Amino acid sequence: MPDSKPIKPANKRGSARLSAVQALYQMDISGAGLTEVVAEYENFRLGREIDGETYLEADAAWFRGIVGGVVRDQKTIDPIIHESLTDTWPLARIDSTLRATLRAAVFELTRRRDVDARVVVSEYVEVAKAFFDGDEPKMVNGVLDVIARQVRSGELDPKPESGEGEEPPAPAGEQG
């Protein structure tokens, strides 16, 4: 009996993020335009079988939002990334897949404030793991952590444990 569990919206977003990074990479390497690449992914890749591999169903609107947003905001996204890198590794020197991953993540960190920063960082570390076995996912985590702390001030600060910073309850019989 086939497994017919519906794909959770979060999984569809994760698939959309992975596909968005692939599309951004394709645009970077081939010089293809936004409309052409988005149409290719929506018509032939998202949730489709290619060469015997079935791609997870993706949230097409989320995919379009990321890819279109990165293209639209790249002139503000790239300097944010550049500032978080070392002088010896400028953005232009970074692998195209890593560059696409960081750009998509920074777009979400700066424009999708409805998504928790921890979720964004975690999701894009997982995207990096889909492409790299080495230290690249750690690099993505480190760079995104720095950026998230800058653009989402306080959101990544540790939350106080329950009861911390509150007045202790008065002993029974002394409330008033």
Range with the poorest average pLDDT among 20-24, 36-40, 41-45, 135-139: 41-45
Question: Considering the domain boundaries, does residue 166 fall inside one?
Answer: no
Domain range spanning residue 14? 9-151
The domain that contains 33 carries what CATH number?
Answer: 1.10.940.10
For the chain, the domain total comes to 1
Does residue 162 form part of some domain? no
Whether 30 is in a domain gets the answer yes
pLDDT in tens, 87-136: 888 888 899 999 999 999 999 999 999 999 999 999 999 999 999 999 99
Contact between residue 56 and residue 15 where contact means Cβ atoms under 8 Å apart: yes
Neighbours of 159 (CB within 10 A): 7
What was the pLDDT predicted at 146?
95
User: Is the residue at 159 inside a domain?
Assistant: no
**168: in domain:** no
Instruction: Extract the tokens encoding 100.
Output: 């696409």
More confident residue, 50 or 86: 86
